[in-house]
Amino acid sequence: MIAHAENLLEMKGIKKSFHQNHVLKGIDLDVKAGEVHVLLGENGAGKSTLIKILTGAYQKDAGEIYWEGQLAQLHTPVDAIKLGIATIYQELNVIPHLKVYENIFLGRELKKKGKMSLLDRKAMLEEAKRCLQMLGQSPDLADQKLGDLGIGQQQLVEIAKALALEAKLIIMDEPTSSLSAKEVEQLYNCVEQLKAKGIAIVFISHRLEEIKRLGDRITILRDGFKIETLPVKTTDPDYWIELMVGRTLDEKFPKQTFPLGKEGFRVENIEVAGAPGPVSFSVRYGEIVGIAGLVGAGRTELARAIFGADPSRNGKIFIDGKEVKIKSPRDAIDAGIAFITEDRKGEGLLLDQKLDFNIVMANMKKFKKKSRLIDLKGIREEAQRFIKELKVRPDNIDLNARNLSGGNQQKVVIAKWLCTHAKVFIFDEPTRGIDVGAKVEVYRLMNQLVVNGAIVIMISSELPEILGMCDRVLVMSEGKITADLPIQEATQERIMKAATGV
Amino acid sequence: MSQVVIQTENEVTKKNRPLKKLLSKFGPLIGLVLLSSVLTLLSDKFLTVNNIMNIARQSTINALLAIGMLLPILTAGIDLSVGSVLAISVMFMGIVSVNLGMSPIVGILVCLLMGAGFGWLNGILLTKLRLPHPFISTLGTMNIARGIALIVTAAAPIAGFPYMIQFLGREFVGPIPVSFLLVIVVYVIFHIFLTRTQTGRYIYAIGGNPEAARLSGINVDRVLIIVYTISGLMAGLAGLVMVGRVNSAFPLAGLSYELDAIAAVIIGGASFLGGVGTVWGTLIGALIIAVLRNGLNLLNVSADFQMTVIGAVIIAAVYVDVLRQRKSKKS
Ligand SMILES: Nc1ncnc2c1ncn2[C@@H]1O[C@H](COP(=O)(O)OP(=O)(O)OP(=O)(O)O)[C@@H](O)[C@H]1O
Ligand SMILES: [Mg+2]
């Protein structure tokens, strides 16, 4: 096999299995300098696995990797860094209590010449400033504590780190999924600049609009195989989806309208962390209420206040007109409220426990037998049911949550809350990181919940899904609800206006 | 162009997979068997009924402390106080049932309650005072308990316990020490507790991800208090067995026993990061330590050397575990 010299990177016939699970069955990928190469595939298709092989985090079972035409051996992450491959993982790899420039030079600090091993702080600062400026950031950032920055800026610091390493290829695994609209914009600009410098980028994303905007070529994976590599600009996203799921997807938003019932859930003057004043709203049966706003608008804080996740706050909550007292998450669950948290690793999952335990964790009571022992068989059956219903892959409840792909982990978190059989469901960014097909499943599930007489509230930063699935939209800005729009009146402009407070 | 499958020579052989799985599940047990085989070869006194029962008896105190220790470690915590709590429990039992001549039942109750009480205190310090890590709270109570144990009898031992108190540590059923039967019963109860009860499963949840546990409606503080109370209770129970064995209570009893208990839990495959560990593994861990000490005694290795060897075994056992996990992550 001969590598083509014009390719910066060529992966050939890459295979990888985890025990009986054959994830990659012979993948080819080539990347040219200065291009943005997108990887698209369903949750669990093996995108992250392929990337981890490239960064030396996993070892391939078979296949070859050529770098600038030469056969490359990638055994450890250091090998990859030496070649000039840098990675921005979805979970940031930064140290919050160190300064930005210290993070940029972590592990390869510059030393003063001749003075034994004293650190050359000034040189590092200068270099860090230069890299930050290249990304259109203020050079003053370099001397700030990293933990004081927002997630988006932290991510840009990671990119600056890649620049400081003089990386020729930067891999970004779902980089925009936790950024605010403004930060996303910054990231896009930054990607354009990297491209102009001739740096290649491998970009993983489930967001079709951003793929269309940034991508040059797209490689589609399915069932462990590479299906096609296509130019982005001249092909249709619907065609990509067809290749990715193996069938046509009839509708992106399976919206159903139900007759509006009486008020089922009301929040009165609840105090929200960081908000200027108390917040009130109500939801009726038969409607899905969306809470839109920019990242940082206080939507998650509102949900946490309702759920009793933060130390007790003032305010009243009514379900079916009856007040419920909520001082802790336990009280909220007992009152019939479920809160599907946005941060699945930090707040949702037990990574080293099996799926069945993860799924029943919030409702173990239900499986307590008269003898006070828990009904293991019952738990397995219930978990199996949800895994089937939500199409979690692989559908093996004995796997630890850690070993699922990001999107499938998200489904497990959703399953956990469905399992509580709550009356009120608050979804916080429920479709973050899940593929287009699975999104439709989640939307269907929301419909189903409404049919079954539940109250459904969806916090989302994705305007299309708010507009596509909700019957009413609340918009939050700086801790206040600034608009309450029936869906007929909710346009993108009106929502953005209320969200930015202009 | 699509779906080409390229075969290359470095395809891995997948035949050794089941073996690997077996190894990771029974790693500590295999270690125990290997160790015993070596000792059988080195000493003809090792594999005798007498000696086996000896090992069983010698393992009991550490086994009881270790199973208590497993719980805090599962929650990503630690209980450094168990050795001292053992001492204070037996001293008070001595005062009550020997010095004051009260009924042995009262003595036993005092012993167990003293242990549980100190454990409860550890839990309260951790959850209510919000001390940053149980290392600190239990380091404190470790010194407090030991201090009180020395003060109450002006450092003098107490001997001459009634038979009922000595029963557990002293008696045999046929060749089998009662204390070892107690260990088996306790371990079975712990196994059921950890795998089949709500609180037991919550302990794993808290160790795995405390925030996720809290948001799932788990009362984390309550579970932690239970965890430390049980650990203390087991220290009291271990003390009771010890008094039966030596027929005396002394204030320096159980000195640095917490270290062997921690070692047993870790050798048994539990993770210091919490959420991972089993009752079964802990039993093997405790047995490995007992076999090791017994074997080294049979081979006339001095106590100082024993310490060195056990230190090395701890490091080796954990290192094997680290390798195993690294493998399974990469594979
Ligand atoms: N360490 C591991 N051990 C066992 N199985 C694993 C491991 N890592 C990944 N897998 C499995 O490999 C498959 C591919 O996972 P991967 O994370 O690459 O998917 P992905 O394409 O990135 O999906 P997503 O869009 O959800 O992030 C999944 O079935 C997953 O369960
Ligand atoms: Mg992924």
User: What are A352-402's pLDDT values in tens digits?
Assistant: 899 999 999 998 888 988 888 999 999 999 999 999 988 888 889 999 998
Q: How confident is the model at residue A71 (pLDDT cuts 50, 70, 90)?
A: very high
A362: left (phi over 0), alpha (psi -120 to 50) or beta: alpha
* Interface residue of A21, A64, A326, A352 to substitute, partner B, most B CBs within 10 Å: A352
CB contact under 8 A, A59 and B330: yes
Q: Is B106 helix (H, G, I), strand (E, B) or coil?
A: helix
pLDDT tens-digit profile of A259-300? 999 999 999 999 988 888 899 999 999 999 999 988 778 899
Q: Residue ranges of the domains in chain A?
A: 7-246, 258-336+455-501
- Please tell me whether residue A288 adopts helix, strand or coil conformation: strand
Task: Looking at the CA of A412, name the nearest ligand.
Answer: 1
User: Domain total for chain B?
Assistant: 1
Residue A351 and residue B196: Cβ atoms within 8 Å?
no
Model pLDDT for residues B21-60, shown as the tens digit of each residue: 666 667 788 889 999 999 999 988 889 988 999 999 999 9
Residue A25 confidence (pLDDT) above 90:
yes
Q: Which residue has the higher pLDDT, B180 or B4?
A: B180
* pLDDT classification of B6: cutoffs 50, 70, 90: very low
Q: What is the mean pLDDT of residues B95-119?
A: 94
Q: In what order do the strands lie in the sheet with A337-340?
A: A337-340, A424-428, A455-459, A288-293, A472-477, A480-486
Omega prior to A394 cis, within 30 of 0: yes
Do residues B149 and B88 touch, judged by C-beta distance below 8 A?
yes
Q: What is the largest CA-CA distance in chain B?
A: 91
Residues A446/A278, Cβ–Cβ less than 8 Å: no
Fold that domain A7-246 belongs to in CATH: Rossmann fold (3.40.50)
Those residues with Cβ within 8 angstroms of residue A114's Cβ, 6 or more apart along the chain or in another chain? none
N- to C-terminal Cα separation, chain A: 59
User: Is B196 in Cβ contact with A13 (below 8 Å)?
Assistant: no
Distance CA A456, CA A470 (A): 9
* Range with top average pLDDT, A185-194, B18-27, B279-288: B279-288
Q: Which domain holds residue B192?
A: 34-330
Confidence grade of residue A5 (pLDDT, cut at 50, 70, 90): low
* Residue B6 CB-density burial (10 A; 0-12 exposed, 13-18 middle, 19+ buried): middle
**Interface-testing mutation among B1, B8, B23, with chain A (most A C-beta atoms within 10 A):** B8
Is residue B165's pLDDT more than 80? yes
> What is the CB < 6 Å shell around ligand 1?
A 18, 21, 23, 41, 43-49, 393-394, 403-408, 435
Q: Which residues contact A481 (CB under 8 A, 6 or more apart)?
A: A279, A280, A281, A474, A475
- What's the rounded mean pLDDT across residues A204-208? 91
Strand order in the sheet with A322-324: A279-284, A263-270, A316-319, A322-324
Nearest CA in chain B to A370: B197
Distance of CA A367 to the CA centre of its chain: 32
Residue of B nearest to A362 (CA): B216
> Could A309 and B215 be called an inter-chain contact, meaning their C-beta atoms sit closer than 8 Å?
yes
Query: Reduced to 3 states, what is the DSSP secondary structure of residue A61?
Result: coil
Nearest CA to ligand 1 atom 7: A403
State the average pLDDT over residues A83-97: 81
pLDDT reported for residue A390: 86
Region A149-169: what's the mean pLDDT? Answer: 86
Please provide the average confidence, as pLDDT, over all residues in chain A.
89
**How far B11 CA sits from the closest chain A CA (Å)?**
5
Check residue B22 and give its pLDDT.
Answer: 63
Residue B169 lies in a domain: yes
Q: Is the pLDDT of residue A437 over 90?
A: no
pLDDT on residue B4: 35
Q: Which residues of A touch B211 (CB under 8 A)?
A: 346-347
Predicted local distance difference test score (pLDDT) of residue B317: 78
What pLDDT does residue A190 have?
87
CB within 8 Å of B81: residues ≥ 6 apart: B118, B122, B138, B139, B141, B142, B145, B232, B235, B258
Phi, psi dihedrals of residue A145, rounded to the nearest 5°: -75, 135
B12 lies in some domain = no
The answer to whether the CB atoms of A19 and B331 lie below 8 A apart is yes
What are the residues facing A15 on neighbouring strands?
A: A25, A62
B28 vs B234 pLDDT, higher one = B234
How open is the CA angle A73-A78-A81, to the nearest 5 degrees?
90
Put simply, whether A12 touches B (Cβ < 8 Å) is yes
Distance B243 CA to ligand 2 centre (A): 58
Cross-chain CB nearest to A373 (options B4, B192, B219): B192
**Closest of B286, B243, B240 to residue B55, by C-alpha:** B286
- Is ipTM beyond 0.85? no
For residue B8, the model assigns a pLDDT of 34
Kind of pairing, strands A316-319 and A322-324?
A: antiparallel
Q: Which chain B residue is nearest to residue A341, measuring alpha carbons?
A: B215
Whether the domain at A7-246 and the domain at A258-336+455-501 fall into the same CATH topology: yes
pLDDT score at B331: 41
Q: Give the closest residue (by CA) to ligand 1 atom 18.
A: A46
Please, which pLDDT band fits residue B16 given cuts at 50, 70 and 90? Answer: very low
| pLDDT exceeds 50 at position B15 | no
* Ligand 1 atom showing the smallest separation from residue A45 Cα: 21
Please tell me which residue, B154 or B326, carries the higher pLDDT value.
Answer: B154
Q: Is B190 at the interface with chain A, CB within 8 A?
A: no
Nearest-CA residue for atom 19 of ligand 1: A44
Distance A71 CA to ligand 2 centre (A): 26
CATH topology of domain A258-336+455-501: Rossmann fold (3.40.50)
CB atoms under 10 Å from CB of B16, counted, come to 10
pLDDT band at A106 (very low <50, low <70, confident <90, very high): confident
- Residue A136 pLDDT > 60, yes or no? yes
Sign of the torsion formed by the C-alpha atoms of A365, A366, A367 and A369: positive
What does the pLDDT average to over A113-138? 83
Q: How far is CA A27 from the centre of its chain?
A: 25
Q: Which of B276, B29, B219, B227 is nearest to A354 (CA)?
A: B276
- Residue A135 confidence (pLDDT): 79
Report the separation in Å between the CA atom of A433 and the middle of ligand 2, taken as the mean of its atom positions. Answer: 8
pLDDT at A4: 62
Partners of residue B209 in chain A, C-beta under 8 Å: 346-347, 349-351
Of A61, A227, A365, the CB nearest to B12: A61
What is the arithmetic mean of pLDDT over B173-194?
A: 94
In a domain, B114, yes or no: yes
Q: Are B331 and A18 a contacting pair at CB < 8 A? A: yes
Any chain A CB within 8 A of the CB of B328?
no
Q: Quote the minimal CA–CA distance from A431 to chain B in Å.
A: 19
Band of residue A325 on the pLDDT scale cut at 50, 70, 90: very high
Q: When comparing pLDDT for A111 and A260, which is higher?
A: A260
pLDDT at A116: 66
CA distance A193 to A148: 25
Please indicate whether residue B166 or residue A4 has the higher confidence score (pLDDT).
B166
Atom of ligand 1 nearest to the CA of A407: 26
Residue B248 three-state SS: strand
Nearest-CA distance from A55 to chain B in Å? 13
Residues of B in contact with A356 (CB under 8 A): none
Task: Report yes or no on B14 lying in a domain.
Answer: no
If we measure between CA atoms, which residue out of A284, A307, A249, A409 comes closest to residue B214? A307
Residues 6 or more apart whose Cβ sits within 8 Å of residue A140: none
pLDDT at A50: 95
Q: Residue A173 C-alpha to ligand 2 middle, in angstroms?
A: 7
Q: Are A384 and A359 in contact (CB under 8 A)?
A: no
Determine what percent of chain B is predicted with pLDDT higher than 70.
90
pLDDT of residue A312: 67
Q: What is the mean pLDDT of residues B77-97?
A: 96
Q: What is the CATH number of the domain that holds B287?
A: 1.10.3470
Asked if the model's pLDDT at residue B324 lies above 70, the reply is no
* Structural domain contains residue B267: yes
Candidates A49, A171, A349, A395: which one to mutate for ligand 1, based on the most atoms within 8 Å of Cβ? A49
Q: How far is B217 from chain A (nearest CA, A)?
A: 4
User: What pLDDT shows up at residue B155?
Assistant: 84
**Cα separation, A292 vs B196, whole angstroms:** 42
Beta strands in A85-143 (DSSP E): 85-88
